[in-house]
Structure 1
């Protein structure tokens, strides 16, 4: 009985207590508790609390984001970049769930002036500072109380926020331009006579360049502007994806696969083949070679990743031995002969000179006198340890042709003082592949503006090697928005997770590339960080290759270690499927005046490995990338 004489069971509940009682009644908590206790009765007392915790955790409230925190950190080359942390409310307690460090991507021309380098460093520092402000203020408020597993909603909100900031930036620039124009108008109107005289001189100079105008080439597209603070968008999207994977108790690569394919996710997964950089041929005073920026090794698909990397390390050690001069007190006779030009007509080629430092790409830097020297070096190193290029190991070249164009000459300067027109470049590559058939990938063999030459080289070499565009596909989010960007006909593109790229953008674009039978390569930016998420992204979206740099420097080696861990996990779960190296045969041009078709035909049966069928990808029918 209650103090007032009223039976306890007849007491009426009011307000929040009544609502709580109704909630427990609807949820059938007493019945569940009774079931749990009955199930726990035969267990030992020591197991009781753990089993109770596991039982009630299943019916607890889903974790939600309670704080998004950003800070400035340093990347692998000592440049500032952004780290984003995601804190969630888990069982009424705030907990740090995940963090992501963005990689910085900055293409500074080689031998750039001190002023250019200083301006770039200031711009990068300002961008990171702005990104930290965005994360700690606007994005922290915007994403609060959202579930980290709702990636689509998070990315949509991030995209809307970025669009708003981009519009604000346009308005600011428009106002600044208007003010500058108003300031300059009186000066131009007061001095008509002084501007007329230089105009005549310019016209005269233009007349002298008629011969050069006959071989005009398409001008380079202007550099894509990067909005200050855009790192906040990509960093937050990646950190939320890692938080969603952690809360779902799922590896990030499998979480990305589920986001891309949903219920149609393949039961078996393929690891991307690594493009391991072993030589970085920089343009330096002692290095005449300019055409080749990177020489990479690709292990055969028959080997496991672990076996392939061990083979690459063996080749790398042999290369280091070959780089050592025969005597410390006297110069190498091979190098002396190469300077005199005698080795070009003999069977023995001079070895390039190794520079005693490691590139930021994590490999040895070297300089060469001609295009064949680094390739012959690789061939010699493989032969010395009993390997054969084209069977036991394959080659890939990053030509970076967009860095070689001499716009005054209208040609590529492949060597110091040696120029080639775009059409001559195609012939040179055809000759090179015929001489070195072990080369199965060329990255950026031409500028993206030389569209006709891309079509020609695809028709000539598409069935022998992959022709990959990297410079044309720097920004993932802009490629997704505008598929009619200046992407030439190619076998595939290198995608980089930088700036305002979101996880949804990467998934959507790789789906489009799958539907157009283009291969996807995920590339590591120049300013790499220690975050190994790029490997999970590559495995999750089903990339054919992954380009991580060399097997030195911690920020790059940690990604190779993550790739090895994923291989071991997939092999243990029996979900690992062997990759393939099928090439694409492009349609031949019926007539010279007609544009070639930009839709490649189905892969040929002439491949470097046993054929394995690809899983069906459920993507919409979309137009192919423009030629």
Structure 2
């Protein structure tokens, strides 16, 4: 052999030995040698195209699982231009830092539409400050606390997030207690310097003898105080959801399947059911002169016999026809009207009705008992109505019990007000939740993925139905759809077929249907109502077990889209376009 050929052979042998040493080093520190591709190219310039791929796949079996290396939080805008939080997740994958995913939280505000300008300005400032605080939490504290954790370990991540949130709540209480003590001390000091006022004798008025006292009707219990929201709490929910998306990404499975496996403790899933969409057909706004105080919005539910794609197409045709009918004569057909919510929560009937009655029309009042009779007559007359959302105020628990006994086997009685208490429903047994067929859950504030998994499991065991609903300030993030599918929600409440951030979610729902149908894992949905006991029942919490549901056959009318009425007692509302 020529000297030049011998030298080349010796060089190749040395390179092969070097490659073996690098491979041995890989087993020690689980790192893929950066020069492996160069070495293979030098040794085997004519090697098969898939040789390196096979080696990489083999070595990847021994690599470390991806772990979180960085969280990035930033302030962005939601679908209605309000500030909200975006969370990005970076993981260390095969010794390299890689951006895995991001999520944008939907903002949720309790600003009433008829609030004074100064109140609105203060609340908007509070919202902005809350998002800034959330960004700070993500970039600093949470970034350090979650570093090195596996994104697939959702329970551990959520436990850390929950403990951090509890710590922040306790810190806020300490500050409030200190401020109250200082205020009390200042008040006592001021009182000690001021002479006390004494009432003059003979000035006290007393009721005249013989005067009849009017017996007041049974009043509706007063509204509960709004749940306080800790500034920055959206960081907890945003980070939990972002980690769930990252866990699905590194596991190479869709988010809905990752959620379903978390809920089922990694048990195999043979079939999955899609939630039925609640599509807003009519929404009550202030732009129309027509006054209607009973109905907040009317929604359509596609027939269960149709595929989701067919059902949405039918609902879309109905929505277009309703838009045409509502168009004033003489005006050219217009595109979808702009949404008027501006990210503010609509007044959900929290004001106490006048005279202890509900105002269903202008100047028309009904007592709680009359409201139940009215709904019974409504359902009997219009069997297409299969669900009533908030037909009564949440605090009127006795009438909730009565309406459930009267209509529970004919339609769903849904409590949406309970959505703001997700974080407390599974821990506080004294939460004032009325008897109902199910609740609307919204992924907001400090809600964590584990919270939804635990709560929906509790609802499933008690034969309640779960509805995943969009918060007020929606974003283009379609994770809500995957959550609804993975959690096994019966319905998903997205609003009308309009606006990009909503259509994105409907398209995601259609894509999941196509994927499940292709994999032959799509199970047909069904509707079954809860048969509550006819006799009067004591007040129950969500933790109480309800009687088993009554298997009723569907009426023939349900081959057409079903109606759902979102009631709004004691609130001004006007009939308008879907939004």
TM-score (norm. length: structure 1): 0.76
- Find the residue that maps to 1:274 and give its secondary structure: strand
Deviation at 1:519, TM superposition (A): 0.4
Cα RMSD (Å): 3.2
Q: Distance in 2 between matches of 1:538 and 1:22?
A: 46
- Seen in structure 2, the aligned counterparts of structure 1 residues 442 and 195 have a Cα distance that, compared at 3 Å, is farther
Q: How many residues align?
A: 513
- Seen in structure 2, the aligned counterparts of structure 1 residues 451 and 511 have a Cα distance that, compared at 3 Å, is same
Deviation at 1:219, TM superposition (A): 1.4
Deviation at 1:450, TM superposition (A): 0.7
Q: Does 1:178 align with 2:124?
A: no
Q: Distance in 1 between matches of 2:328 and 2:287?
A: 20
Alignment of 1:526-537 (within 5 A): 526-537=472-483
Deviation at 1:562, TM superposition (A): 0.4
Q: Report the equivalent of 2:116.
A: 113
- Find the residue that maps to 1:46 and give its secondary structure: coil
Alignment of 1:195-206 (within 5 A): none
Higher mean C-alpha deviation, range 472-481 or range 234-243: 472-481
Q: Report the equivalent of 1:573.
A: 519
Which residue, out of 430, 436, 456, partners 2:376? 430
Task: Describe the superposition over 1:338-375 as per-residue Cα deviations: whole angstroms up to 9, x where unpaired.
Answer: xxxxxxxxxxxxxxxx998333579xxxxxxxxxxxxx
Task: Describe the superposition over 1:190-231 as per-residue Cα deviations: whole angstroms up to 9, x where unpaired.
Answer: 55666869xx89999xxx996475433211111111111000
Q: Distance in 1 between matches of 2:66 and 2:379?
A: 55
Deviation at 1:26, TM superposition (A): 12
- The answer as to whether partners of 1:466 and 1:583 remain within 8 angstroms in 2 is yes
Which residue, out of 90, 97, 100, partners 1:97? 100
- The answer as to whether partners of 1:69 and 1:135 remain within 8 angstroms in 2 is yes
Which residue, out of 459, 464, 483, partners 1:513? 459
Q: Report the equivalent of 1:357.
A: 337
Alignment of 1:585-604 (within 5 A): 585-589=531-535, 599-604=545-550
Q: Does 1:440 align with 2:420?
A: no
Deviation at 1:282, TM superposition (A): 2.2
Higher mean C-alpha deviation, range 111-120 or range 524-533: 111-120
Deviation at 1:427, TM superposition (A): 1.4
Q: Distance in 2 between matches of 1:285 and 1:324?
A: 11
Task: Describe the superposition over 1:236-285 as per-residue Cα deviations: whole angstroms up to 9, x where unpaired.
Answer: 00000100100000100000011000243431000000000121102567
- Find the residue that maps to 1:431 and give its secondary structure: helix
Alignment of 1:208-607 (within 5 A): 211=214, 213-283=216-286, 286-327=289-330, 357-359=337-339, 402-403=348-349, 405-589=351-535, 599-607=545-553
Which residue, out of 546, 551, 554, partners 1:608? 554
Q: Distance in 2 between matches of 1:231 and 1:90?
A: 28
- Seen in structure 2, the aligned counterparts of structure 1 residues 176 and 538 have a Cα distance that, compared at 3 Å, is same
- Seen in structure 2, the aligned counterparts of structure 1 residues 404 and 141 have a Cα distance that, compared at 3 Å, is closer
Q: Which residues of structure 2 form unaligned runs of 5+?
A: 1-20, 557-579
Q: Distance in 1 between matches of 2:418 and 2:101?
A: 32
- The answer as to whether partners of 2:415 and 2:438 remain within 8 angstroms in 1 is yes
- Seen in structure 2, the aligned counterparts of structure 1 residues 201 and 68 have a Cα distance that, compared at 3 Å, is farther
Higher mean C-alpha deviation, range 178-187 or range 226-235: 178-187
Q: Which residues of structure 1 form unaligned runs of 5+?
A: 1-17, 330-353, 363-399, 611-627
Q: Distance in 2 between matches of 1:249 and 1:609?
A: 42
- The answer as to whether partners of 2:401 and 2:537 remain within 8 angstroms in 1 is no
- Find the residue that maps to 2:299 and give its secondary structure: strand
Deviation at 1:449, TM superposition (A): 1.0
Q: Distance in 1 between matches of 2:205 and 2:90?
A: 62
Q: Does 1:122 align with 2:125?
A: yes
Task: Describe the superposition over 1:560-594 as per-residue Cα deviations: whole angstroms up to 9, x where unpaired.
Answer: 010000000000000000000111100111xx696
- Seen in structure 2, the aligned counterparts of structure 1 residues 107 and 601 have a Cα distance that, compared at 3 Å, is same
Q: Distance in 1 between matches of 2:278 and 2:520?
A: 25
- Find the residue that maps to 2:218 and give its secondary structure: coil
Higher mean C-alpha deviation, range 527-536 or range 415-424: 415-424
Q: Distance in 1 between matches of 2:245 and 2:132?
A: 23
Q: Distance in 2 between matches of 1:195 and 1:215?
A: 37
Deviation at 1:416, TM superposition (A): 2.4
- Seen in structure 2, the aligned counterparts of structure 1 residues 401 and 442 have a Cα distance that, compared at 3 Å, is farther
Task: Describe the superposition over 1:55-102 as per-residue Cα deviations: whole angstroms up to 9, x where unpaired.
Answer: 212221111111011000000111100000000111111110011111
Which residue, out of 135, 142, 145, partners 2:138? 135
TM-score (norm. length: structure 2): 0.82
Which residue, out of 140, 148, 152, partners 2:151? 148
Deviation at 1:475, TM superposition (A): 3.1
- The answer as to whether partners of 1:257 and 1:265 remain within 8 angstroms in 2 is no
- Find the residue that maps to 1:419 and give its secondary structure: strand
Q: Report the equivalent of 1:169.
A: 172
Q: Distance in 2 between matches of 1:472 and 1:355?
A: 34
- Find the residue that maps to 2:510 and give its secondary structure: helix
Deviation at 1:408, TM superposition (A): 4.6
- The answer as to whether partners of 1:459 and 1:586 remain within 8 angstroms in 2 is yes
- Find the residue that maps to 2:50 and give its secondary structure: helix
Deviation at 1:405, TM superposition (A): 4.2
- Find the residue that maps to 1:89 and give its secondary structure: strand
Q: Distance in 2 between matches of 1:117 and 1:256?
A: 37
